Amino acid sequence: MNILETLQLSITSILSNRLRSFLTILGIVIGVTSVILLISLVSGLKSFITNQISGLGSNIIFVIPGRIGGGRGPGGSQINRLTFQDATNLKNGLREEAEVSAAITKVSTVKFANKESKNSSVIGTQSNFPKIIKLVKVTQGRFLSSSEGESGKRVVVIGPTVKTNLFNSTNPINKSITIGNARYQVIGVLASRGSNFGIDQDNVVIIPLNAAQRQFGVTNLNAIYISANTTEKVKDVQTKAMQILLKRLSEDDFTVQTQEQTLSTVSQITGVLTAALGGIAAISLIVGGIGVMNIMLVSVTERTKEIGLRKALGAKPQDIKNQFLIEAVTLSSLGGIIGIILGFGFSLIINQFFITVVPLWSVLLSFGFSTLVGIVFGVAPAIRAARLDPIQALRYE
């Protein structure tokens, strides 16, 4: 019996028990769908973060509190020792080679009259912030001036979400709003950056660093941003920045990362997430494979007489084994195909709210794994069927 005849017999057997076949592949379908969906979400998150960081410019350098991988807390050190003095030292030391801007970030409610914008990100920074962070652009009014930054004048540039929540279509320029318990004059409106993964990047207000430090009673910084004058000088600027900071701080007190290193860290984190979530989802494939094996074993029992008759008519044990193995692989492969289609479909739906990216390797991996499951879990029933004695099989009731 050739392979085409064996395949035809297998498909006929599958179609004669449609409901049972569907229930058999259900575990495979769920497993493949879950793998593709979870990987697409993690890949989308990676794409989103990568695009955001890449959009800052290739010559950007980040200084953050604590040492990444230091092992004494999320950022290494348990105490944030990064201060405005460190930013000043960097600005003086890198004056001819880079722009330096310090920043602190808080969350507060912003109010105007009887309207409010809750959980707004409050960024306290300096007037040269847009020169470094290219994504920060003003579409109405202006940004903070150097004199306003140095004096800590209570002026504010608001994001589009804050503008909509507080002013709707009214011109907000020169209006006074309340951030926490302090009043600020609106001098500008930022360009929209959109929302993703539940983060509204437009629900933000930017105020002078000195004003933020006084209002929130903080002296430490969340970050210092450095922009090298040329891409070629990034490594040199990074090395020099570390040397300047080490005059006051220890190695565990800060991390200086280039854009390239930051993207590498993001890739490592998302890689671990992909492996972990993909592994969890793959458990469904294993469970589905066990389901395939159980149903195929039941099928062998039900078709004992058929097997005996075929052997009596000249079918070889290898023919019987091939038929049951092909049935198992066909069922699992069909489950893989349906799972891939559903995974794509759900990803497209979720993409309306969050960025999702379905990598080709995840599709090939899911289909390959589902097929492998059919082979592995189809071997035992196939061998059992092939070993049946034809006379005993014909007598089976």
Q: What is the pLDDT of residue 76?
A: 45
Confidence band for 106, pLDDT divided at 50, 70 and 90: very high
DSSP lists the bridge partners of residue 185 as: 155, 176
What is the average per-residue pLDDT within 356-379? 82
Tokens of 165: 């929540």
Which residue, among 395, 340, 386, 394, has the nearest Cα to 363 in the 3D structure? 340
Q: Is the pLDDT of residue 301 over 80?
A: no
> Is it the case that residue 258 has pLDDT exceeding 90?
no
- Per-residue pLDDT band for 136 (boundaries 50, 70, 90) equals confident
Q: Is the pLDDT of residue 77 over 60?
A: no
Q: State the CB neighbour count (10 A cutoff) for residue 147.
A: 10
Phi/psi of residue 74, nearest 5 degrees: -55, -35
The mean pLDDT of 39-44, rounded to a whole number, is 85
Provide mean pLDDT across the span 220-245: 89
CA separation for the pair 308, 389 (Å, rounded) = 7
Assigned token pair, 113: 């009259």
Percent of the chain with pLDDT over 70: 82
pLDDT above 90 (res 375): no
| pLDDT tier for residue 131 given thresholds of 50, 70 and 90 | confident
Q: What's the whole-number mean pLDDT along residues 58-73?
A: 73
Contact 192, 218 (CB under 8 A): no
In 2-151, beta strands by DSSP E: 60-65, 98-112, 115-125, 138-141
Quick one: how many helices (H) and strands (E) in the chain?
13, 12
* 116 DSSP β-pair partners: 111
Q: What is the pLDDT of residue 184?
A: 94
Q: Is the pLDDT of residue 119 over 60?
A: yes
pLDDT of residue 234: 85
Question: CA–CA distance from 322 to each of 117, 316, 330, 368, 379 (Å)?
Answer: 67, 10, 12, 19, 9
Beta strands 195-196 and 155-158: pairing type? unpaired
User: Helix axis angle, 360-386 relative to 18-54, nearest 10°?
Assistant: 150
Average pLDDT value for residue range 79-94 = 89
Q: Does residue 355 surpass a pLDDT of 50?
A: yes
pLDDT at 109: 92
Residue 250, C-beta contacts closer than 8 angstroms, at least 6 positions apart: none
Angle of CA points 240, 243, 247, to nearest 5°: 145
N-to-C CA span, the chain: 27
Q: How confident is the model at residue 324 (pLDDT cuts 50, 70, 90)?
A: confident
Q: Given a cut of 80, is residue 260 above it in pLDDT?
A: no
What's the half-sphere exposure (Cβ side, CA atoms, 13 Å) at 99? 17
Q: What are phi and psi of 373, to 5 degrees?
A: -60, -45
- pTM, two decimal places: 0.64
Q: What is the mean pLDDT of the chain?
A: 81
Place 173 in a pLDDT band, splitting at 50, 70 and 90. Answer: very high
